[in-house]
Structure 1
Amino acid sequence: MAQSSGGIGIRSPASIADAADRRPAQLTGFSSDHAAHRIEMNTRTRAMKLPTSRQRKILMLRKLLPALFVATTALPAAAVLTAPAMAQSQPADQVRVRGSVISLGDKALKVKTREGNTVDVTLADGWVVSGVAKAAITDIKPGDYVGIASLPKVNGGDGALEVLIFPPALKGAGEGSHGWDLKPNSSMTNATVADAVKGVDGQTVTVSYQGKEKKISIPNGTPVVTLAPATKDDLIPGAIVFIPAAKDASGALATHQIVVGTHGVVPPM
C-alpha cells in the first residue's frame, strides 16, 4: 500500500482494480476464473430477448405452412417420423384428412372424415394448431400472396374453389401450382397477385409464380380466408379440421399440423 507524506494509507487505482477482481472469489468461494465465467454468462442471459407474440406467430405459421400447401409425395424434413418400422420402409405418403373432430386424446386426434370413415391421427412431438379467419374477395389486392384451389373452366382459365390470403411474412412459401385433392382435377396455386379485375360475378385475378402466369376467376360466394391463431382447446367435438398427415405402409396416420375452424369459419382447403 502506498504511503502519503502524512502517513495515511492510500490505495492505488491498480490495487483497487485487483481487489475488485478478487472479490467475487472471496465472496462466493469460487475461483476468479469461475466467477468471471458466471459474470459473462449472466451478461449474455440479460442480452437475450424473448420473441414477441408476433414473432412467435410467424414462427408457428412457418412451421405450419410447408405441409399444408405444398403438394408433394414426400414429407418436409421437419415432418419425417423416426419410428424404427418407418425408418426401414419407404418414405411415408402425404395425405390430407378433412372432417370433424370426434375426440382429442393425449397422443391422437379421432376424426370422422368427409368420406364417413373414422380415423385416429397420431400427434407428433411439437405438433401445432392454427385457425382461419374470414376475409372477402375485395381484400385480394395486387401484390398479395395467395393460395387458390381451383378447377379448369370449360371456356378456359380456372375457377376458384377457395382462396387463402397469406400473411405478408409468408410471401413466397410453397410457390407454384400443384395437383390438389379438394375435388377431382383441382389444383392448388400459391402465387402473387399481379392484378385483380372486378366483374359482375366476382373478380378475376392474374397470379404469377416461377415466371408463369395464370388467370383465375373468383365467383361471389367463394370462401376466402386468412390464417389465424388457435389452440388445442379449439379441437372440440364437431369442430371442422384440415390435417396434412403422413401415412405409413400400415395405413397409420401421424401429423405435425392441424387447421381447425373457429368462430363459425371453417378451413375451406
Structure 2
Amino acid sequence: MPSPETSTRPVETPRPPFPEQQQQLPGSDQALSPQADHGETSYRGHGRLEGKAALITGGDSGIGKAVAIAFAREGADVLVSYLEAEEADAKDTARWITEAGRKAVLVPGDLSCPDTCAALVARAVEAFGKLDVLVNNAAHQRTFASLEDLTTEELEHTFKVNILAMFHLCKAALPHLRPGASIINTSSREAFTPRPDLLAYATTKGAIATFTKSLAGLLADRGIRVNAVAPGPVWTPLIPASMTKEEVSRFGTSTPWGRPAQPVELAPVYVMLASDESSYISSSIYEVTGGRPVS
C-alpha cells in the first residue's frame, strides 16, 4: 500500500448523498460542494514529464485542473485553455502550476470557434518554444428529457466544442509535434453505455473514441501517439451545471463503488499517456469508471 507521501488518492473521498445544488453553465469549481480534489495536497510528482510542454483545454477545473497540477509536478510547463467566465478557477490552476516551479500560461477563449483553437496552439508554441502534449479535455454537456427539447443550436454547439474543436486543435498542433509527442483525448463511458438524456453529449463522446483510433493510425508513421481516457462519473462543476438537484445529490451511486471519482483519480492515467513510458501505446481508450464495465 502506498504511503501518504507518495499516494495520489484523496485523503477523504466524499460519497453521496451530496448537497442539492445547481449552477449556471459552465459552472464554478469554487461554488462546488463538497469541493473537488484535484490533487492540490496529495499528488506527488516523480519527474516523468520533465522538460515537456503541454496544452490542456478545460484546465480551469475538474479533470483538466487535476491533469494540469499533475503535469506541472511531473516537470511540464502548461498552457491552460478556459472560458472567460471561468477566470477565477483558471487563476487558481495557474497558482498550483507556478508553485510547482513550472510555467503557467492562461488563455481564455471559446473552442467552438476554429480561430480560437489555432490561436491556442500558436500561443503555446510562442510561450514554450515547442509542444509535446495536447490534452483535448474541454466539453459541453446538458441533459434533455426528450428529443423535442434538444434544439438544433444546442446539438451543433455540443459538436463544435466537444469534437470539432478537437479536430481543429490537432490539425493546428500537428506541424509542431515531433516523434514521441502525445495527444490525449477525453472520451467518456457515455460513448459506450449512453444515458438517453445525454444524447448530444454521448454522441460526441462516441465520435471522440472513433476519432482517437483513426487519428492514431494516421499519425503512427510520424511517431505521434494518440490515446483517450473514458471516465465514468467524476465530481466536477459540470455536474450541478447540467443536471437536476436530485441527480446531483445521488451522483455516482450507479458505480460499484457507490461514488463518483475525484478529478485527482484520473490524473495518473493522463500522466502515464503523456510520458515516454507509454512509447508503444497508441489507439487505446483507458476506462476509469469505478468498476462499472462500459459494455
Tell me which interval the TM-score lies in, with the shorter structure as reference length. under 0.3
Higher strand share: 1
- Bigger Rg, structure 1 or 2: 1
Using the size of structure 1 for normalisation, the TM-score is 0.25
Using the size of structure 2 for normalisation, the TM-score is 0.23
Higher helix share: 2
